[in-house]
Chain A
Amino acid sequence: MQEELKQILVEGLQEAGAAATSQELSAVRLKYFGKKGLITQYSRRLGMLSPEERPRFGKIINEVRQELEEYLTTREQELLALEEQRKLESERLDVELPGRRPRRGHPHPLQLIIQEITTTFLGMGFSVAEGPEVELDYYNFEALNIPPEHPAREMHDSLYITDKILLRTHTSPVQVRTMEKVCPQPVRIIVPGRVYRRDALDATHSPIFHQIEGLLVDKHITFSDLKGILTVFVQKFFGEDRTVRLRPSFFPFTEPSTEVDVSCGCQGRGCRICKNTGWLEILGAGSVHPKVLAMANYDPELYSGFAFGMGVERIAMLRYGITDIRHFYENDLRFLSQFS
């Protein structure tokens, strides 16, 4: 009997070792420890032995049982781990295949520029003012010190709706409207918006384009303040390494007036973009003309200010290397999808 048990143990260990899956292993466990299991049967037969033999065989059976069970447990853990591993292996994906992408919207480059500039000026205490695109002649010209004989007021340069109403040719009328509204409070605004000119469409001209206007009016505002604010803006927008250059210019509604240039990315080496000048013209600006202040009811002896304006398309073209203004309005997906 002892021999038989040893034989059973050897076979049991062998079978458990040979089991390839946890299922096979369960069958082995059943074969030895099930109700009719080989070892179970021996345990039952224990009762039939004499009291003297019982403890000895009981011990042997226990030893065999314990050894086999221990091995089965170990083996089971091994197999489960192996099976888990196989399962994971079978679930392997080709992670190099493209993912399932949610659709992504692309911002319009003009909006990106408007947003960036707006954010910068919000940070400097400016708010955003708006005004009508279909505008009174008075706000578009007269209140901006543009006399009736000025060439811009001719039918061939502007788009008129009636004798007194036209599509605004710049965002500057919003300057006047805002001043009229808040006078004598100080003004600190920017005005992004659409403007219209009687220009035929080509690579560099569009009858519709966008401007961003700025206006600051308060007591004791100087030309040097204009220089300060615009320098902060230009270096923030174009880079701290860029320099700003102001040179005298002329606009009817500012005096003194200035063009604001930023040094070109070519760093003066000369390139196609700056036409070898090393400078890019980006802004027109100046101190608000005393006549404009007076027409909006500010006393020019007490109040002063400055205004500036820039073309959004031009800035977008410079920043993104766009050579044809028409791209902005065609909305070709291949163009738009380059922006994010």
Chain B
Amino acid sequence: MRVSYNWLREYVPIDLSPAELGEKLTMAGLEVEEIIDFGASYRSLKIGKILEIEPHPQADRLLLCRLQLADGEVTVVTAAQNLRRGDLVPVALPGVTLPDGRKIEIAEFHGVRSQGMLCSEEELGLARKSTGIMVLPEGTALQANLDTVLGLDDHVLVLELTPNRADCYGMLGIAREVAAITGVEVKLPDLRVEEATEPIEEFVSIEVQDEELAPRYAGRVLLDLKLGESPLWLKARLLAAGMRPINNMVDLTNYVMLELNQPLHAFDLQQMKDQKVVVRSAREKEVITTLDDQERTLTRGQLVIADAVQAQCIAGVMGSGQSEVAEATKTVFLESAYFSPVSIRRTAQFFALRSEAAIRFGKGLDPETVPLALDRVAHLAQKLGIARVAKGVIDLNSRPFTPRKIRFRPERINGLLGTKLDSTEMFEIFKRLNFKLEEQPDGTCDLLPPSYRLDIEGEADLAEEVARIYGYDRIPATYPAAKVIGQLTPRQEFTEATRQLLLGCGLSEIKTYSFHGESMFERLNIPADHPLREAVRMMVPLSEEGSLMRTTLLTGVIEALSYNARRNQHDLQVFEIAHVYHPTTADALPEEPEHLAGGLSGKMFTPAWNQNDREVDFYDGKGLLETIFTALRVEKVTFRRGEHPVLHPGRTAILEYAGEPLGIVGEIHPQIKVEFDLVAPVVLFEINLEKLWQAACKEVVQVKALPKFPPILRDLALVLPEKVKVEEVMAVFHENGQEKLEAVQLFDVYQGDKIPAGYRSIAFSLTFRLEERTLKDDEVNAIMERIIEAATSKFGAQVRTA
């Protein structure tokens, strides 16, 4: 909403500067986004007096004008024929930007340099079309500012209105707000009409067929229309409001719309078949050619204004060219109505027509303004001598307005706001806002909001009105003490701990989109029937890339690695903690477990002159998870050989806890690597955090006593067939060592030419210790013998000697 400062002051004669006014409006809830110095673009133009007009020596149709400016003389080339010596004209000198955005430069016309340009009304944005240069009133001083001369020395406050304040889309609405804020009285617009003797019924009959969509429909008839240009002051108002002047009739309806927030439509009555106005729902496939020359097909339920035969206007949205007011128009039917806001919004959206009228109708207007707007147009039409006004108004109101009644409980309002205002102070605020107070027989009071405040529904709204006008800044700040301790749940702390551990282990946190497209599944080689493809899909996606909710976080991790790899950043370690989405039944919400996923890429360590520069492999991923699990007190997770479409089939482990899958870790599949432009080795992992949390030990740690006796250490290297699992070997150690074997550590794995193919050498370090006494060498030797014996018979192991 663009508010002209000058115009506003006609209703509320305030002393505030535009900036001060803007501040007050903002603090009352009408946010001023910008204040435009509207006269600025006119002020840069000069006023010139024509001293001499000569024909151009080389061009027949051009003239040379010598002009007296306030500070010198210039010669300008023009094609205009309407000028005479002594005329005062607007001059744009080189370097100046015209109101329409055009920049003036020195130009040469057939060998004569023009030191500027004389401006027409069209070029100044004051008329749609003009034939000659604008001539300013006689006696205008050369020193005067053009914006002042034209009445355009104005400021425009650009308001960002909230949807509840539909009433503020009119100047009067803003004026009422200003009045309430400042205490200045509002001067209402003049509505007096001197009607002619011919009654309106002689010219038009109105029939409202759909009262649901048009609860109130009213009209006046204007006679003997003299169509023409609007006076300058009217044009200036429209321009300031951001509308282009068209002709006096249309300009007047627009003016009153801007003033009273009531859109009006003017029909050429002669074009309305049988001089009938029928307000009805459109017929299926009914066609109308709208003002913008578009043929539009209507559907049932869309409201139209028709004559006896066909639709002449899409109600509240746009009229038709046929019944538009034109040169030949003599009799005008002027419409003012209250249409169903929802219906107008739907129709406007259906045709993608966001006209000023449709916007206003769609927000909901004051039904009581409907007849007033007709009177206001009639008054102005008479005042400007545009038309006579037929006698009477037709006003079909099927839903007479009854004001809402809201209990007025000052103590309750204080209770909601935390203020201590007395009831008179509060009532003073409501009086300024034009609320009425009504005492009830039981001694209580009701407040009745004015008809234009459709947003006031209950006590909370009353509280806001008091707060707004009293001033949010004057409400005290208090601190409600907490009766509970603010803390994260253990489950939330678990996620936070996970995050901090990963950061501490050198992984950076990433955030990626929760959705992707079907094509991502293709790129990841995920088979058609794979569970990962069972996704939550959008009805109307934003785009292909946003068509479904992810079922794995690996997509985001791979994309992040890929994004960096394409920028030549190959050494990075990242993780994301976020939700994935699994559909359940059709009507139920999906499951959204929290997952952790990550990727290690390129060099394991930060590259440096003295750093090991090896690249990551499977065991870095696995080791990272093992560390994290230990820190999170998750024990007994097993890693089993497994498969996943995006991972290397031979280098993938599935994580299990108590037989339940927990997640996955592995090196990226070489094909996926190529698909995503990855160059360096990549290890990926993904864990279901909900399940990990379930697996975590929650009891408080109970400390074990430190050993009092020394350990005995033994190393053992076994050559074993490849397929023997380390886990099984370890089991044999523990079976034989029992409580004497404290720990086993695997410290070397070797395969190569020193041992037969199909075998590997695995070296363990065994720690023997007893809690209650020092172990003897002989005891340990005996155990070692048994272990070797068992490993030999069970796995065909051989002890490897150095």
Point out the residue from A207, A224, A334 that lies within 8 Å of B418, measured CB to CB: A224
Interface 1/0 per residue, B479-513 and A, CB below 8 Å: 11111111111001000000100111111111111
Docked complex Cα distance between A126 and B515 (Å): 31
Query: Is residue B461 within 8 Å, beta carbon to beta carbon, of the partner chain?
Result: yes
B-side residues, CB < 8 A to A, are: 26-29, 31, 162-165, 342, 345, 349, 415-419, 458-461, 463-464, 467-468, 472-473, 475-489, 492, 499, 502-515, 536-542, 546, 549, 560, 563-564, 567, 569, 572-575, 578-579, 581, 586-587, 589-590, 592, 605-606, 608-611
Point out the residue from B28, B478, B546 that lies within 8 Å of A228, measured CB to CB: B478
Query: Is residue A282 within 8 Å, beta carbon to beta carbon, of the partner chain?
Result: no
Query: Counting chain A CB atoms within 10 Å of each CB, which of B415, B418, B473, B489 scores highest?
Result: B418
Stretch from A11-19, A23-31, A153-161 that touches the partner? A153-161
Contact in complex: B503, A228 (CB < 8 Å) = no
Point out the residue from A127, A155, A223 that lies within 8 Å of B416, measured CB to CB: A223
**What chain A residues lie within 8 Å of B514 (beta carbons)?**
133, 194, 196, 208
Docked complex Cα distance between A330 and B562 (Å): 10
Closest to A293 in B: B460
Which residues, 204 to 227 on A, are CB-close (under 8 Å) to B?
207-208, 216, 218, 220-225, 227
Query: Counting chain B CB atoms within 10 Å of each CB, which of A128, A161, A258, A304 scores highest?
Result: A161
Closest to B164 in A: A250
Point out the residue from B342, B477, B592, B609 that lies within 8 Å of A132, measured CB to CB: B592
**What chain A residues lie within 8 Å of B579 (beta carbons)?**
133, 194
Contact in complex: B592, A134 (CB < 8 Å) = yes
Given contacts A155-B540, A224-B418, A228-B478, contact A149 B342 (CB under 8 A): yes
**What chain B residues lie within 8 Å of A135 (beta carbons)?**
589
With A255-B461, A256-B467 given, name 14 new contacts (CB 8 A). Answer: A103-B605, A124-B486, A134-B549, A161-B538, A186-B483, A198-B542, A207-B546, A224-B477, A228-B477, A232-B479, A248-B27, A257-B464, A287-B416, A334-B569
- Closest Cβ of chain A to B342, distance in Å, is 5
Contact in complex: A161, B459 (CB < 8 Å) = no
**What chain A residues lie within 8 Å of B567 (beta carbons)?**
332, 334
Of the A-B pairs whose beta carbons lie under 8 Å apart in the complex, a sample of 6, sorted by A's number, is A98-B608, A105-B575, A159-B538, A220-B415, A245-B473, A290-B460
Given contacts A161-B538, A223-B475, A231-B477, contact A329 B513 (CB under 8 A): yes
**What chain A residues lie within 8 Å of B575 (beta carbons)?**
105
Query: Is residue A317 within 8 Å, beta carbon to beta carbon, of the partner chain?
Result: no
Docked complex Cα distance between A122 and B488 (Å): 8
Query: Counting chain A CB atoms within 10 Å of each CB, which of B499, B508, B573 scores highest?
Result: B508
A-side residues, CB < 8 A to B, are: 97-98, 100-108, 110-111, 121-128, 132-136, 149, 151, 154-155, 159-162, 164-165, 167, 186, 188, 194, 196, 198, 200, 207-208, 216, 218, 220-225, 227-229, 231-232, 245-250, 255-259, 287, 289-290, 304, 328-334, 336-337
Docked complex Cα distance between A198 and B572 (Å): 32
Contact in complex: A331, B549 (CB < 8 Å) = no
Contact in complex: B511, A200 (CB < 8 Å) = no
Contact in complex: B590, A160 (CB < 8 Å) = no
Contact in complex: A248, B472 (CB < 8 Å) = yes
Contact in complex: A188, B549 (CB < 8 Å) = no
Contact in complex: A103, B573 (CB < 8 Å) = yes
Contact in complex: B416, A105 (CB < 8 Å) = no
**What chain A residues lie within 8 Å of B610 (beta carbons)?**
97, 100
Docked complex Cα distance between A161 and B539 (Å): 5
- Closest Cβ of chain A to B246, distance in Å, is 30
Contact in complex: B487, A331 (CB < 8 Å) = no
**What chain A residues lie within 8 Å of B487 (beta carbons)?**
122, 127
Docked complex Cα distance between A104 and B502 (Å): 10
Point out the residue from B349, B477, B540 that lies within 8 Å of A160, measured CB to CB: B540
Contact in complex: A208, B513 (CB < 8 Å) = yes
Contact in complex: A256, B463 (CB < 8 Å) = yes
Contact in complex: B26, A106 (CB < 8 Å) = no
Docked complex Cα distance between A188 and B477 (Å): 18
Point out the residue from A102, A250, A259 that lies within 8 Å of B165, measured CB to CB: A250
Given contacts A125-B483, A128-B492, A331-B564, contact A246 B472 (CB under 8 A): yes
Contact in complex: B608, A333 (CB < 8 Å) = no
**What chain A residues lie within 8 Å of B416 (beta carbons)?**
222-223, 287, 304
Contact in complex: B483, A160 (CB < 8 Å) = no
- Closest Cβ of chain B to A24, distance in Å, is 37
- Closest Cβ of chain B to A148, distance in Å, is 9
Contact in complex: A127, B546 (CB < 8 Å) = no
Contact in complex: A105, B504 (CB < 8 Å) = yes
Docked complex Cα distance between A257 and B416 (Å): 12
Point out the residue from A228, A249, A329, A331 that lies within 8 Å of B480, measured CB to CB: A228
**What chain A residues lie within 8 Å of B564 (beta carbons)?**
331-333
Closest to A256 in B: B464
Contact in complex: A159, B542 (CB < 8 Å) = yes
Point out the residue from A105, A134, A165, A229 that lies within 8 Å of B508, measured CB to CB: A105
**What chain A residues lie within 8 Å of B482 (beta carbons)?**
124-126, 188
Given contacts A103-B605, A110-B511, A207-B546, contact A125 B486 (CB under 8 A): yes
**What chain B residues lie within 8 Å of A97 (beta carbons)?**
609-610
Point out the residue from B475, B492, B549, B605 that lies within 8 Å of A227, measured CB to CB: B475
Docked complex Cα distance between A256 and B471 (Å): 12
- Closest Cβ of chain B to A244, distance in Å, is 8
Docked complex Cα distance between A333 and B509 (Å): 10
Docked complex Cα distance between A190 and B415 (Å): 24
- Closest Cβ of chain B to A67, distance in Å, is 51
Closest to B479 in A: A228
- Closest Cβ of chain B to A165, distance in Å, is 7
Contact in complex: B492, A105 (CB < 8 Å) = no
**What chain B residues lie within 8 Å of A159 (beta carbons)?**
538, 540-542, 546
Docked complex Cα distance between A166 and B538 (Å): 8
Docked complex Cα distance between A228 and B476 (Å): 8
Given contacts A106-B509, A333-B572, contact A225 B29 (CB under 8 A): no
Contact in complex: B572, A225 (CB < 8 Å) = no
Closest to B546 in A: A207
**What chain A residues lie within 8 Å of B162 (beta carbons)?**
249-250
Closest to B491 in A: A130
Closest to B459 in A: A290
Contact in complex: A223, B467 (CB < 8 Å) = yes
Docked complex Cα distance between A155 and B351 (Å): 16
- Closest Cβ of chain B to A336, distance in Å, is 5
**What chain B residues lie within 8 Å of A106 (beta carbons)?**
503, 508-509
Docked complex Cα distance between A225 and B419 (Å): 11
Contact in complex: A224, B486 (CB < 8 Å) = no
Closest to B504 in A: A105
- Closest Cβ of chain B to A151, distance in Å, is 8
- Closest Cβ of chain B to A177, distance in Å, is 11
Contact in complex: B463, A255 (CB < 8 Å) = yes
Contact in complex: A221, B480 (CB < 8 Å) = yes
Closest to A218 in B: B480
Closest to A98 in B: B608
Docked complex Cα distance between A161 and B485 (Å): 38
- Closest Cβ of chain A to B794, distance in Å, is 42
- Closest Cβ of chain A to B275, distance in Å, is 36
- Closest Cβ of chain B to A106, distance in Å, is 4
Docked complex Cα distance between A265 and B549 (Å): 39
Contact in complex: A222, B608 (CB < 8 Å) = no
**What chain A residues lie within 8 Å of B608 (beta carbons)?**
98, 100-101
